[in-house]
Chain A
């Protein structure tokens, strides 16, 4: 793989880790949601480079454009709660996290691929349409139910 692409991969990996860490550990909910949007955009860039342009498009339009934006708007309307942390077990969780990460790095070094595959938009759409008609119908039903349920929950009045 060429040196410029290697640099792009390194920069994207660092951005992914930084945005993930800021999303998880930032004190403000709104900033966390904003950095989740940046994390989604970085993920979309990686999808595109890996050869999944349709998934990159869906990640940007659907996940970042509607999902994360919905989180940002909903969280901005809430009163910002005080952030509490777990007191006990932090050190154990951190130690497990570091050990798991070290093991994952050591294992992953042995399975580096040497060339890329590419999945075109037409190829993916053709595959989905020919193999997953029932899944698409179930997906549409689930999304419709989610839409109706969330609207009915949101407009419900106080029963008292």
Chain B
């Protein structure tokens, strides 16, 4: 059996793990981390499929831009979370807590 198939399976598994973590966790930072896990799985799948189809340039540049944009996303989201936490807008970084506060 060709060993590269395990990379494809692992990519799909990691993508699904990230989505499951997004649903399963109620902590805002954990949700961000789960999003990053699914992002890693997604770029792995994109590169794998492009490698399989012998068209690596387009996927390579796409993943290049997406990695750099992911850094901007992380910095903005974490800054907002830290600001809200510092200003006592959030007592816990917990989605249930926020929903209770809103009620």
B interface, over-half SS:
helix
A137 CA to B51 CA, complexed, in Å: 27
Q: Which of A99-128 contact B (CB under 8 A)?
A: 100-101, 104-105, 108-109, 111-114, 116-119, 123-124, 127-128
A104 to chain B: closest residue by CB: B12
Q: A74-B78, A84-B94 are in contact. Are A117 and B51 (CB under 8 A)?
A: yes
Contact with B along A5-32 (1 / 0, CB 8 A): 1111110111011001101110001001
Residues of B within 8 A of A85 (CB): 24-26
Cβ A62 vs Cβ B30 within 8 A: no
What's the tally of chain B residues with a CB closer than 8 Å to chain A? Answer: 72
Docked CA distance A79–B90 (Å):
11
Do B10 and A16 have beta carbons less than 8 Å apart?
yes
A12–B57 CB distance below 8 A: no
**CB–CB B61/A132 < 8 A:** yes
Known: A20-B41, A127-B57. A154 touches B51 (CB 8 A): no
Which of A40, A78, A105, A116 meets B40, CB within 8 Å? A40
A156:B27 contact, CB within 8 angstroms? no
A123 and B57 form a contact (CB under 8 A): yes
Interface residues of B in 57-90 (CB under 8 A from A): 57-58, 60-61, 63-65, 67-76, 78-80, 82-83, 85-87
**Docked complex Cα distance between A113 and B7 (Å):** 12
Q: In whole Å, how far is B56's beta carbon from the nearest beta carbon of chain A?
A: 4
Minimum CB–CB distance for A83 against chain B, Å = 6
